Amino acid sequence: MSSKPHFVLTPLMCPGHYIPMIDMAKFLAEQNTFVTIILTPLVAQRMKPITDRAINSGLPIQILLLSFPTLEAGLPDGCETIDTVPSMSLFKNLFHALELLQQPYEQLIQNLNPKPNCIIVDKHLAFSAQTADKFNIPRIVFDGMNCFTLVCFHSLHISKVYESVGEDDPFIVPGLPDKIQLTRSQLPGIFNPNPGQISEKELRERIRQGEENAYGVVINSFEELEPKYVKELKKIRGDNVWCIGPLSLCNNNDRDKAERGNISSINENQCLNWLDKQKPSSVIYACLGSLNRLTPPQLIELGLGLDSSTRPFIWVIRGANKPEEVENWIKENKFEERVKDKAIVVRGWAPQVLILSHPAVGAFLTHCGWNSSIEGISSGLPMICWPLFGEQFLNENLIVDVLGIGYRVGTKGVTHIGDEEKYGVTVSRERVADEIRKVMSEDEEGKEMRKRVRELGKMAKMAIGKGGSSYLNLITLVNKLRNC
């Protein structure tokens, strides 16, 4: 073990952050390195089938547990991840809990043998900058975003262009290779904070500075997808920018695909058997992520839009605001019974990568979280974009305006977590059905779009494979840190 470079990976306790980092751990361990993953107990439990299989296959990976200070931070018992926080008022407690991790985290680092060559840590764990300095270990941040979005963040931070416009007035993000138009209401919290969350400003600034001062950054993307923005990001950050994705493609067997992130809420064989009976490229897969908090009326509109599109579909109801109301509507209107011949309704966690890679799936209705977006691209699927919050509107711009592989469903601005009731229904069932028809159309535009995204899907698989751009970037990263 001592002859191998030792990497320590520490994700944020959020599905969109720890899932790709576990993939990254497997990818690193395959390159003659030793990998330690530091996880809190709930995350370790969710990922256990994947990590156990990786370790049992002979990959040099170890898991260390970091107790999560729920009680000390004033959180309910079992509230250990962002998707288990029951109300917006407790988010400040969660951020406090993250800060309380510093001392026990440093104890784990101090006791590691051999000493790490590098720590790869989620940028939101701001204390890790002090930890890396204390132990004189290079720190690489994992952001979970793509190069395009990071370049946009930099431009917005430097130019402050959004400060001189009204909330819904369009403006052009300056200094980019493409014309990107946004409104202030579409920007993530760092530029467009919820009025009730101004107290987070200091933490956001610490995170930003920690990101800037890191040794480098690893990106869950591939160079062929966004070459202009890889180049721009290297101008900003220097050469220590490594695109090593799509990380989801590190999962080669169906068990890993099915159990990636959590135990599926549906039997994957039942799901695959149903997909096997559908025509190629005919099914719509609709999932708005683990943190979506859509109101019952809006979720119901989505379900009715899927139904009226006349296409077969898989609808994942996860997250959601007041899920019992949606469940009551489904039962009272016999929705599931009515669509049983052409649809599957999944409550909870779905084996998303397994579904997206099935030849029967023809399009992906997504919230444009980056994990979901790049999983859709890797599967060669055009997308219907329904961004909700965070950087998702920027990802929508990449998908629709830069890559030309999707359509907008028409959401106008960020829905701040906790404020969902204020926004009501913003997307009608008619709009949902119309966008599905457009993305599945056999006209020239539809055919060209599908051809483009299929080509990107092929490039993604080549990038992660032996000799591909992401594979070589990872080798470069390992070699650079081997002697640290």
Which residue type occupies 72?
E
pLDDT tens-digit readout, 199-244: 566 777 788 888 888 999 999 999 999 999 999 999 999 999 999 9
137-138-139 Cα angle (round to 5): 110
Looking at the fold, whether 43 and 79 belong to one and the same domain comes out as yes
Domain membership of residue 223 (yes or no) is yes
Q: What is the DSSP string of 205-231?
A: HHHHHHHHTSSEEEESS-TTTSHHHHH
Looking at the fold, whether 306 and 239 belong to one and the same domain comes out as no
SS3 track for 346-393: EECCCCHHHHHCCCCEEEEEECCCHHHHHHHHHCCCCEEECCCCCCHH
pLDDT for 258: 59
pLDDT for 292: 79
Paired tokens of 124? 């939101």
Paired tokens of 210? 């920690």
Q: Does the pLDDT at position 196 exceed 60?
A: no
CA–CA distance, 285 with 265 (Å, rounded to integer): 16
**Residues with Cβ within 8 Å of residue 310, at least 6 apart in sequence:** none
Looking at the fold, whether 238 and 350 belong to one and the same domain comes out as no
Looking at the fold, whether 26 and 167 belong to one and the same domain comes out as yes
Looking at the fold, whether 272 and 244 belong to one and the same domain comes out as no
Looking at the fold, whether 467 and 432 belong to one and the same domain comes out as no
Higher pLDDT, 392 or 209: 392
pLDDT tens-digit readout, 145-159: 999 999 999 999 999
Q: What is the mean pLDDT of residues 47-51?
A: 93
Q: What percent of the chain has pLDDT over 90?
A: 74
Domain membership of residue 260 (yes or no) is no
The chain-wide mean pLDDT, for the chain, equals 91
Q: Does the pLDDT at position 321 exceed 70?
A: no
Phi, psi of 343 (to 5 degrees): -155, 160
Domain membership of residue 101 (yes or no) is yes
pTM of the model: 0.93
pLDDT for 259: 61
Residue for token digits 């990449």? Answer: 398
Domain membership of residue 198 (yes or no) is yes
Q: Is 428 left (phi over 0), alpha (psi -120 to 50) or beta?
A: beta
Per the CB < 8 A criterion, the answer to whether 214 and 139 are in contact is yes
CA–CA distance, 150 with 474 (Å, rounded to integer): 20
Q: Closest Cα partner for 183 from 155, 162, 154?
A: 162
pLDDT tens-digit readout, 63-108: 999 999 999 999 999 899 988 888 777 888 998 999 999 999 999 9
pLDDT for 320: 54
Supply the Cα-derived Rg of the chain in whole angstroms. 22
Q: Is the dihedral of CA 66, 69, 70, 75 positive or negative?
A: negative
Looking at the fold, whether 229 and 273 belong to one and the same domain comes out as no
C-alpha 223: how far from chain center? 18
Q: b/e string for 63-93 if b means 16 or more Cβ within 10 A?
A: bbebebbbeebebeeebbbbbebeebebbeb
Paired tokens of 173? 């993000």
Looking at the fold, whether 213 and 286 belong to one and the same domain comes out as no
Q: Closest Cα partner for 76 from 97, 50, 53?
A: 97
pLDDT tens-digit readout, 237-279: 999 999 999 999 987 766 666 566 555 567 788 889 999 999 9
Looking at the fold, whether 130 and 222 belong to one and the same domain comes out as yes
Domain count, the chain: 2
pLDDT for 319: 57
pLDDT for 198: 45
Looking at the fold, whether 385 and 296 belong to one and the same domain comes out as yes
Beta-strand pair 171-172/181-182? antiparallel
Looking at the fold, whether 95 and 177 belong to one and the same domain comes out as yes
Residue 56: burial class (beta carbons within 10 Å; 0-12, 13-18, 19+): exposed
pLDDT for 143: 82
Paired tokens of 456? 């990107």
Domain membership of residue 258 (yes or no) is no
User: What count of residues does the chain have?
Assistant: 484
Looking at the fold, whether 275 and 209 belong to one and the same domain comes out as no
pLDDT for 315: 95
Beta-strand pair 361-366/283-287? parallel
Domain membership of residue 254 (yes or no) is no
Per the CB < 8 A criterion, the answer to whether 10 and 108 are in contact is no
pLDDT tens-digit readout, 402-434: 999 999 999 999 877 666 777 778 899 999 999
In this structure, what DSSP letter does residue 125 have? -
Per the CB < 8 A criterion, the answer to whether 38 and 284 are in contact is no
Q: b/e string for 126-154 if b means 16 or more Cβ within 10 A?
A: bbbbebbeeeebbbbbbbbbbbbbbbbbb
pLDDT tens-digit readout, 353-383: 999 999 999 999 999 999 999 999 999 999 9
Per the CB < 8 A criterion, the answer to whether 395 and 377 are in contact is no
Q: What is the mean pLDDT of residues 386-413?
A: 96
Task: Compute the half-sphere exposure of residue 241: CA atoms within 13 Å on the CB side of its CA.
Answer: 24
Domain membership of residue 256 (yes or no) is no
Domain extent, residue 352, equals: 265-460
Task: For residue 53, name the pLDDT band (cuts at 50, 70, 90).
Answer: very high
Higher pLDDT, 92 or 304: 304
Domain membership of residue 405 (yes or no) is yes
Higher pLDDT, 466 or 415: 466
The answer to which of 11-20, 418-427, 459-468 has the lowest mean pLDDT is 418-427
Q: What percent of the chain has pLDDT over 70?
A: 93
Q: Closest Cα partner for 119 from 62, 36, 43, 240?
A: 36
Q: Does the pLDDT at position 1 exceed 50?
A: no
Can you give the CATH number for the domain in which 272 is found? 3.40.50.2000
